[in-house]
Amino acid sequence: MFTIIGILVVFGAVVAGYLMEHGALGVLVQPAELIIIGGAGIGTVLIANPMHILKKIAGGITGTFKGSSFTEERYLLTLKMMYELFTRARKEGLMALETDSDNPEQSAIFSKYPSFLHDHHALAFVCDSIRMASSGGIEPFDADQMIENDMDVHHHGATAPVTALSTMADSLPGLGIVAAVLGVVITMGALGGPPEEIGHKVAAALVGTFLGILLCYGLIGPIASNMGKAAEEEHSYYQVLRVMIVAFMKGTAPSMSVEIGRRAIPSHVRPTFQVAEKRMKEKGDAPASS
């Protein structure tokens, strides 16, 4: 929602200021310049990136318009889910969690949290970590290193589309100059014609530079920045899962393992101790919207 508002503010302010100086809005409508800049910009992305990154770019751009999914409520449900897993492991042993990690869709615990089941990356992260812990023969320190390496690999993959889109944004001012130079070439060919025609072609050439800079700093760059923040939020979520799992592997009680995880939650969405404790004590299934 805020992404849409921000885009409207950027373009609205530019257009409003231009009209306040009695500019002709029609002069800014130059489809040819937009095709040159936009098409070349998209082409640079296609040249520089493989298909799996292109898919992530498309998904990341779509995600910027949906807002963050890592809310306080999501963290609370995650804390409750991990508490239930740890409590079962404490009562029945870590081996009891093998059925949950091997078939999470059939798990009595995971099935109560459909949104977590649908997050395939997070589900695989937790299940792989539980499977490693339940198999035995590995020290918590070594397990922590393996989990951290897994997080690094995932984070690298999450930031790759951000880098690609930022590179495209950086290229747009240069591509705007390319469009402007082509406009100048066309203008040179029209010398000797009516002054109005020459003025129109010069204006069209300058619009190319204008569009390149505006799209870079007013649209594509901010979207890439938004995607970067989303990747950091996801990384923070995995960090919370990591510290809880490692704490429990070290022998920490379920409630304290969850409290360690709560302390790792970013401050702007971190629930209070009282709220988290109340959620842990709640009976029954998680809400369907979880």
Domain span at residue 167 reads 33-55+71-282
Which of 159-163, 200-204, 229-233, 273-277 comes out lowest in average pLDDT? Answer: 200-204
21 assigned to some structural domain: no
Average pLDDT over residues 246-274: 94
More confident residue, 151 or 288: 151
CA torsion, points 216, 63, 239, 251, in degrees to nearest 10?
180
Q: Is 86 within 8 Å of 260 (Cβ atoms)?
A: no
19 assigned to some structural domain: no
- pLDDT (tens digit per residue) in 183-211: 889 888 877 778 778 888 888 889 999 99
Radius of gyration of the chain, Cα coordinates, nearest whole angstrom: 26
pLDDT at 284: 54
88 assigned to some structural domain: yes
pLDDT at 15: 94
pLDDT at 192: 74
* Of the candidates 219, 114, 227, the residue with the CA atom closest to the CA atom of residue 164: 227
Is the pLDDT confidence value at 238 over 60?
Answer: yes
14 assigned to some structural domain: no
Is the pLDDT confidence value at 40 over 90?
Answer: yes
pLDDT at 154: 93
pLDDT at 135: 76
113 assigned to some structural domain: yes
CB atoms under 10 Å from CB of 145, counted, come to 13
DSSP 109: T
63 assigned to some structural domain: no
Contacts of 1 (CB under 8 A, 6+ apart): 65, 67
Q: Helix (H, G, I), strand (E, B), or coil: what is residue 197?
A: helix
Give the tokens for residue 140: 């918590």
pLDDT at 1: 75
Average pLDDT over residues 222-227: 96
Q: Which residues of 239-249 are buried (b: 16+ CB within 10 A; e: fewer)?
A: bbbbbbbbbbb
Q: Is 45 within 8 Å of 54 (Cβ atoms)?
A: yes
pLDDT at 289: 41
Q: Is 127 within 8 Å of 241 (Cβ atoms)?
A: no
Give the tokens for residue 97: 């969690």
Average pLDDT, rounded, for the chain: 90
Q: Is 168 within 8 Å of 41 (Cβ atoms)?
A: yes
Q: How many domains does the chain have?
A: 1
Q: What is the pTM of this model?
A: 0.87
CA torsion, points 246, 249, 251, 253, in degrees to nearest 10?
70
112 assigned to some structural domain: yes
Q: What are phi and psi of 157, to 5 degrees?
A: -65, -35
143 assigned to some structural domain: yes
